[in-house]
Structure 1
Amino acid sequence: MADGVDEMPSARPPTLPSQQAFKLWPPSQGTREAVRQKMALKLSSACFESQSFARIELADAQEHARLIEEAAFGAAQEADRVGDKAGSAVVMVYAKHASKLMLETLRTQGRDSGEPVTPTAAREVETDAVATDNGGALSSESEEQAIGDAVKEVRSIDKEVQTLFDVSGGTRAFLTKERAEELLKPLFVENDITQICLSNWSFGHESAEVAARALSALKDRLVDVNLADIVAGRQEAEALSAMSTISSALEGSKLKSLNLSDNALGEKGVRAFSALLGSQNSLEALSFMNNGISVDAARAIREILPSSKELRTLRFHNNMTGDEGALELATEVVGGAPLLEHFQFSSSRVGSEGGVALMEALQAGKSLKIIDIRDNMYGPEGGAALALALRSHTMLKEVYLSDLGLEDEGALAVVKALTEASSQVTILELGGNEITEKVAPALATCIRSMRHLTRLNLMENELKDSGVVTVSTAIGEGLENLRELDLSVNELSRIGALAAAQAVGNKKHFKHLNLNGNQISEQGVEAVQEMLRKSVAGVDVLGPLDENEPEGEEDYEEDGKDDELDVEGFSDLNVADKTD
């Protein structure tokens, strides 16, 4: 419904069978991913700030965190299988196991070992980690201090997991009053819950009343509330009633994080949450993802939200905001959030006018670490405004700017701004922007400035061989931490493909090279494979070539331009085509 709560296109969620049991364990996949991300951030920041440890790059820290979380989850699953622990105790096993492994990872990195802690290693570290946690002997005072700081960090993981109530796992279902009382029973007894996730359950009139009683009793200490996807399949009137009931129960809470995503809100839905939204003066994170936010809904958010001055994270994605909606939110919501670190306004039908307004609003701050405005139509004019905003934010780490229609003019402004201000960037996406070889020299200069880059996405542009050779030269000269390079659909023939392969071949951490959708001859593909086979990276890093058009290379080579390319630094690229 255009102005209200849209019904889900999928089938009506089933009502739960009476025999289904509710448990605090296991956590949902979303919760596990959130824990992994927090661990990765703590691992990378702890090592970076300590002179006793080698630095763990974020990408490496994420791999460590994945293995640590899997090991901790396995230990907790075993405790749950044995059946001698309550759900809350199993959660504590999970948290403590993760903490011990994080500590050991930090100490192992201090010995300059890059190997992630494995489940086997997990069983070997418990005594050592506990001794360290209790102040055991260490190799030096500096390491003791560093370990002490790390212990504080990993203990925070304990606390966060133990205070989280998450029922989002399992099959999506309609929630009856009786099932809601059973599901939310842990909230009605003494607990330390400060974070709640009610996602994936469809609340109606009566089940919302049950939730409201629980939330009302806890609201004074709640800091993180996730209400994403809580009315799926309900009729508009019932959905609005449920949202209003839950909103009223949380009125006056002092939340740090609120997620209202996946509720197909519309203006009526936003206003149904007005009691909750209107009482939040210190939110640090706010999400409206996949809500169908129109200009009217955007206006409602602006009118209801009293302050955005404490916001660090603001996420809009897959909405119908458009230019007018972006204008509604730009000045007061975005511009009123000078502390923003994570800004997402992707896939929301924003054009040049709205893009310029949003980018001007972002200039109110200097703290952005992540910007994600993919899949809008900013065009060159929006690109110029984006460039000005980027110059204000020198701490950027992840930059997602694909599918903005920047063209050469806008892209050139953007890469020059990034060169000046964004040396800490680890992820750069500029795919689908109609960038030609004319921008390649500036792009190469930008890449050289980003020595921590792990992922570079330039897919679906028009760089051609000459542009890719220029960019590949820059990649080959540095970027030791690069793991992914996407040059798919860039009108490449053999020369460009070989330049890319040679550029990444000497990087020991490299994982994936995408050259699909180009016009590389069969002989050229064989030459690329052979080059990678002999390289440090290995041939397995080459992605699928099922959409490559080998016959198309003849068109690129007929005029002889490939032979005239200046491929300085790639003198060995004249690999002769193999013949039968």
Structure 2
Amino acid sequence: MTPDKLLLKLLPVIEASRSAEFYNCGVTDEGCAALSSALRSNSSQLRELNLSVNNAKDAGVKLISDALKDPHCKLEKLRLRDCGLTDEGCSALSSALRSNSSQLRELDLSVNEVGDSGVKLITDALKDPRCKLEILRLYKCGVTAEGFAALSSALRSNSSQLRELDLSVNTIEDAGVKLLSEALKDPHCKLEKLRLRYCGVTDEGCAALSSALRSNSSQLRELHLFGNKVGDAGVKLLSALKDDPRYKLKTLML
């Protein structure tokens, strides 16, 4: 029996569960159609769905996105890591996030080649007051300075609810860090956790982050910079912030 056919048989069980884990199970858009039906059921209790490392692709993601718009859907966490997603799927997700009915708080799009165009679509949703997203993971998504500029703009929006952002293994470098640092200084920015592992950040980027974290507006409590090109000067700047009770930074990974 194929994974998709098995999903169809398990629908009553899935609807009654709060969490469904289908990591690397060979699920395609046929299985996503079954899950979409389950999510829209009046009896659905699903709060968390993991479809990572499957063949969902854009067609399957569109079906899941349609379910997110349904008032019966209670899903709060959705993981789509390494699913062959492109900006076409991001467009469907962006539309769903801007729906009055969407309850989604956490979205993982890591290891998908969504690029800057896909990130811009997601950031459009973050600016919408109907969007409830608090955690966004974009690990290894092909994001460059253009995408970071869009994220910086979204973080400064009065409507953004984002508390946690993972941009690790993207071509951020110091230019991108400076854009994000400007957002951290904005009183509208609610970001508390930021992961920038393996992003080519140097002491110059650390100086921009240090300046942002010294701002009265910064809410950042956790910063991950492991795997970057940070020298002694950068380490000294950020470590001083962590050890100073005047600032909010409590966790620093270098």
Place the TM-score, normalised by the shorter chain, in its bin: 0.7 to 0.9
Cα offsets for 1:16-43 (capped at 9, x unmatched)? xxxxxxxxxxxxxxxxxxxxxxxxxxxx
SS across alignment from 1:485: strand
- How many angstroms apart in 2 are the aligned matches of 1:483 and 1:539? 9
- How many angstroms apart in 2 are the aligned matches of 1:471 and 1:482? 10
1:549 shift after superposition? 4.9
**Residues 426 and 453 of structure 1 are in contact (CA less than 8 Å); yes or no, is this contact kept in structure 2?**
yes
SS across alignment from 1:384: helix
Structure 2 unaligned blocks of 5 or more: 231-254
Other-structure match for 1:512 = 193
Other-structure match for 1:447 = 126
- How many angstroms apart in 2 are the aligned matches of 1:365 and 1:337? 12
Other-structure match for 1:346 = 22
Change (3 A) 1:427 1:437: same
1:470 shift after superposition? 0.9
Higher relative contact order (CA 8 A, sep 6+): 2
Change (3 A) 1:357 1:477: closer
Cα offsets for 1:177-220 (capped at 9, x unmatched)? xxxxxxxxxxxxxxxxxxxxxxxxxxxxxxxxxxxxxxxxxxxx
Runs of 4+ in 1 over 6 A off after TM superposition: none
**Residues 516 and 546 of structure 1 are in contact (CA less than 8 Å); yes or no, is this contact kept in structure 2?**
yes
Cα offsets for 1:97-148 (capped at 9, x unmatched)? xxxxxxxxxxxxxxxxxxxxxxxxxxxxxxxxxxxxxxxxxxxxxxxxxxxx
Change (3 A) 1:362 1:504: farther
Give the length in aligned residue pairs: 225
- Is 1:375 the counterpart of 2:83? The answer is no
- Is 1:525 the counterpart of 2:206? The answer is yes
- How many angstroms apart in 2 are the aligned matches of 1:495 and 1:355? 41
- How many angstroms apart in 2 are the aligned matches of 1:357 and 1:473? 34
- Higher-helix-fraction structure: 1
Other-structure match for 1:385 = 63
1:466 shift after superposition? 0.8
Change (3 A) 1:421 1:355: farther
- How many angstroms apart in 1 are the aligned matches of 2:207 and 2:162? 24
**Residues 454 and 479 of structure 1 are in contact (CA less than 8 Å); yes or no, is this contact kept in structure 2?**
no
Cα offsets for 1:497-520 (capped at 9, x unmatched)? 222233344468643211112123
Structure 1 unaligned blocks of 5 or more: 1-294, 296-323, 551-580
1:469 shift after superposition? 1.2
1:443 shift after superposition? 0.9
Change (3 A) 1:422 1:495: farther
- How many angstroms apart in 2 are the aligned matches of 1:443 and 1:342? 26
User: Which among 469, 475, 496 is matched to residue 176 of structure 2?
Assistant: 496
- Which one has a bigger Cα radius of gyration? 1
Counterpart code for 2:201: I
Other-structure match for 1:333 = 10
- How many angstroms apart in 2 are the aligned matches of 1:437 and 1:425? 22
Counterpart code for 1:370: E
**Residues 40 and 73 of structure 2 are in contact (CA less than 8 Å); yes or no, is this contact kept in structure 1?**
no
- How many angstroms apart in 2 are the aligned matches of 1:451 and 1:391? 12
Change (3 A) 1:515 1:364: closer
- How many angstroms apart in 1 are the aligned matches of 2:67 and 2:54? 17
Cα offsets for 1:468-491 (capped at 9, x unmatched)? 211221122135754321111221
- How many angstroms apart in 2 are the aligned matches of 1:405 and 1:503? 30
**Residues 440 and 470 of structure 1 are in contact (CA less than 8 Å); yes or no, is this contact kept in structure 2?**
yes
User: Which among 410, 427, 435 is matched to residue 106 of structure 2?
Assistant: 427
Change (3 A) 1:374 1:422: farther
Counterpart code for 2:123: A
**Residues 19 and 49 of structure 2 are in contact (CA less than 8 Å); yes or no, is this contact kept in structure 1?**
yes
Counterpart code for 1:444: T
Other-structure match for 1:574 = none
- How many angstroms apart in 2 are the aligned matches of 1:423 and 1:390? 5
- How many angstroms apart in 1 are the aligned matches of 2:40 and 2:106? 23
Counterpart code for 1:471: L
Counterpart code for 1:470: A
Cα offsets for 1:307-358 (capped at 9, x unmatched)? xxxxxxxxxxxxxxxxx1232232x321x46955634133132242554343
SS across alignment from 1:440: helix
Counterpart code for 1:463: V
